[in-house]
A and B are shown apart, each in its own frame.
Chain A
Amino acid sequence: MSFETKIFPTWCPGCGDFGIWAALKGSIKQLGLKTNQFTIVFDIGCSGNMSSFLKVYGFHGLHGRAIPAATGIKLANHQQKVIVVGGDGGLLSEGLTHFVAAARSNMDIKVIIHNNQVYGLTTGQSSPTSMKGTKGKATPLGVVEKQLDPVSLSIVGGATFVARSYAGNIPETTKIISSAISHKGFSVVEVLQPCVTFNKLNTHSWFQQRVSPLVSIPKTDLEALEKAVWTEEKIHLGIFKDDSSATPYHETIPILKSKTLIQYT
């Protein structure tokens, strides 16, 4: 199966998005999903530009608003696997309310966060995941705000599958995305994705010195939170939470028990 379109990716050479693109395609193939079985909702940003590089049912909506659109699609036709592709800016700044709301309701959508810690497509402003002190185009004196950790946020918010991966490791990222897509409920995969043009601090080699796989899935949320935190030396990768016992939102709705909301045939 080929998902290629007439447009070859327009990302910068060396961009981490190539790795995530490859991993996502790999997962879809690995899971044997047909193109009429899933929809990908793209946020706006470098990550969202992937929308024109995949021949699937795609929805490239508004900056920050991918999650509510995905929620609408899931509730209208819960037989579809619904995947969200977005960045740290869209999903965690403008779209934070939606992120937390969907996590709390355990909406069955799978969110892949391309975390490059910078606004890339708008040429280099700091983002919610930028490290304290980072100088951006709109923060020349350095970021004052504390860095937001998507993994901790997801665990506290109520996501039932939470993982972190590194875009430089395509086989591992593929495996984790596959697990997220297979999970029933709100799933988050944070992919550390170095921006080769605008993030001169969190580079490939910077990450390679720090990333370290989790030995096993933490048994409790508290343990997961402990492991999620970045330290000077170590950034843990792997699955932090995988709770398959939680009921996804649509399964709590009586009228969705026997059939999907819409029947188009």
Chain B
Amino acid sequence: MPKTFGIKIAGPQGSGIQSAGETLFRAAVKAGFYALGYLEYNSLIKGGHSSYLLTLSDTPNPNISPTIDLFIPLTKNSFDQEAKNITNDTHLITDASFKIQTTKGKLHQPALIEIAKNQGNPLILNTIALGFLSHQLKFPKDLLINLILEDLAGKSETLLEQNKKGYEEALKVSSKYFLGLWLPHPNNATDKTVVTGSQAIGEGALAAGLNFYAGYPMTPSSPLLHYLSANQEKNNFLVKQSEDEIGAINMAIGASFAGAKSMTGTSGGGFALMQEGISLAGMLETPLVIYLAMRPGPATGLPTWTSQADLLFAVYSGHGEFPKVVLAPGDPTECYLLTHKAFQLSQNYHIPTIIISDKYLAENHYCLEKFPQLNKVPLSINLPGTPETYQRYNYSPTGVSQRSVPGISGGEYLANSDEHSPDGLVDESSENRKLMNQRRQNKSLLIKKNIPLPEIIYNSDNALITWGSTKFIGREISNALSISHIHFSYIFPLPEGLNGVLSKFQKIFVLENNLSGQFAKLLKSETDLKITKVYGEDDGRPLNPKFFINQIKNEL
């Protein structure tokens, strides 16, 4: 088991937990730790309870620390909310004024709120907490405060001064407390990229040469909308906040029809609204990338929590039969590479491609190697031949035909959601239907041939299968049990030759962040695979590796 150290800060929403958490994460990475940052919050703006868990690790790509080793609640209520997660070994940094009485944990009661008050601003308590942590985590003295001041750039001199002085005061107070913490050795290179899955997907889209993105706000897909909006001017593309998700996908399809590399994004309920649009992109054969950031449903469900329960919904999205691809990156590097890939596949085959993430992947902070440079995806526009002969939906053995866009003289055609003949005009005849259906089917078959096999880390003849955001969770479990780990990022269509690869294993377990084992169902319907047991949970929280290690151990 990799050794981890978990630091949690918690407070009401609006008290700066999110920004303090991100700053702490950045500092940890700069200090050379392998780290993961995990934010929990509720669907409200002020009050309630939010927390940020920073996991430090001695190995790359850590999962969430199973223990809270150091805990700073900003209020008494924050302490109460997290009391159940405290163990005897947890160091509790609770303000003297909370008068905490607890049978668990090691209590330390510095007067942190007083420091904030002395600076005349109780709202800087998050900075004070970071100051206290800085000393305990042996960070270089100015690392955190420099990042905090960077964040506050442009704010009033008074505020900057309050933060600075409060931070220094907190360092002094902290130096009086010796906690004797075990910390992982900070042996990581310090020039790592700090990203969320959302940012990595945005980077992938930029690398592919995104022209147009349309979206409607919905957690947890909004971070991508925000990231792209903030980057549009300097990268020369356009983001349109639409009136609803139906508007978003139809705008994106319209833009693609006109030649733009086009994308839209949403979460559960919004994806439900986009169904007819996905089907339209399939029928018109307009390239389109659709980002689905999952959260637990049904209906509004748990808006700010995580889940993998929309997999089959994505695979079977859109009415009617048409080719599509579904990809589910397992980490931010894959977010970047597969988003670029999604544009490539969409342009090459004139299809909708869906990228699935979830709140866990979309909002976690990760530290990684810098992304490789990728070339822009070329626009798949062929200038048509002589005007008399050009047919947009001409029959070809691969199913992929020549694409024109408005503005090209001689390339006029109708993109028709009615079943159409090769020139796009309506044609309801049986002969034509069979021909066009076959064209679309041929593309599905061609795509399947070009899908890579899953990543396999071989440890034994028993294997654990995971997909999407649970990649590192699956890896930790299979390493702990010395079984093989098979991870799928290409979800649909499943690759050819999968039967052969999977039949080598004796026992196969599938683990998913949903209740019914959706990927297992897909595997069973598309392969001859015999699955030993399917494990799943969908309580809105990330899967707990330790729990599933114990479960699977009994089956080996």
Contacts and interface: CB of A to CB of B under 8 A. Distances in A.
B501 interface: no
A87 to B, nearest CB: 16
B405 interface: yes
Interface string B390-425: 000000000000000111111111111110000111
Nearest to A36: B409
Nearest to A249: B240
A68 B212 CA distance: 13
A97 B426 contact: no
B552 interface: no
B212 A60 contact: no
Interface residues of B, number: 51
Given A76-B212, A261-B260, A60 B244 contact: no
A72 B426 contact: no
Given A36-B407, A77-B258, A59 B233 contact: no
A256 interface: yes
Nearest to B424: A58
Interface string A244-265: 0000000001111000011010
A174 B93 CA distance: 78
B250 A255 contact: no
Given A68-B254, A72-B256, A44 B409 contact: no
B246 A264 contact: no
A264 B412 contact: no
A77 B276 CA distance: 24
Nearest to B407: A36
Interface in B411-448: 411-418, 423-426
B426 A49 contact: yes
A256 B238 contact: yes
A77 B247 contact: no
Interface in B241-278: 242-244, 246-248, 250-260, 262, 276-277
Interface residues of A, number: 45
Contacts, number: 165
Most buried by A among B212, B243, B410, B423: B243
A61 B280 contact: yes
A254 B251 contact: no
Nearest to A262: B259
A49 to B, nearest CB: 7
A206 interface: no
B412 A57 contact: yes
Contacts of B240: 71, 75
Interface in B472-496: none
Contacts of A100: 243
B254 A52 contact: no
B260 A262 contact: yes
Interface string A1-21: 000011100000000000000
A177 interface: no
Contacts of B262: 72, 76
Given A51-B416, A65-B246, A76-B212, A255 B251 contact: no
B505 interface: no
B64 to A, nearest CB: 40
A55 interface: yes
16 contacts: A37-B407, A49-B426, A58-B416, A60-B417, A62-B250, A68-B246, A72-B214, A72-B253, A73-B255, A75-B251, A79-B407, A101-B243, A261-B212, A261-B255, A262-B259, A264-B407
Interface of A: 5-7, 34-39, 41, 44, 49, 51-52, 55-62, 65, 68-73, 75-77, 79-80, 97-98, 100-101, 253-256, 261-262, 264
Interface of B: 211-212, 214, 232-233, 236-238, 240, 242-244, 246-248, 250-260, 262, 276-277, 280, 284, 379, 381, 405-418, 423-426
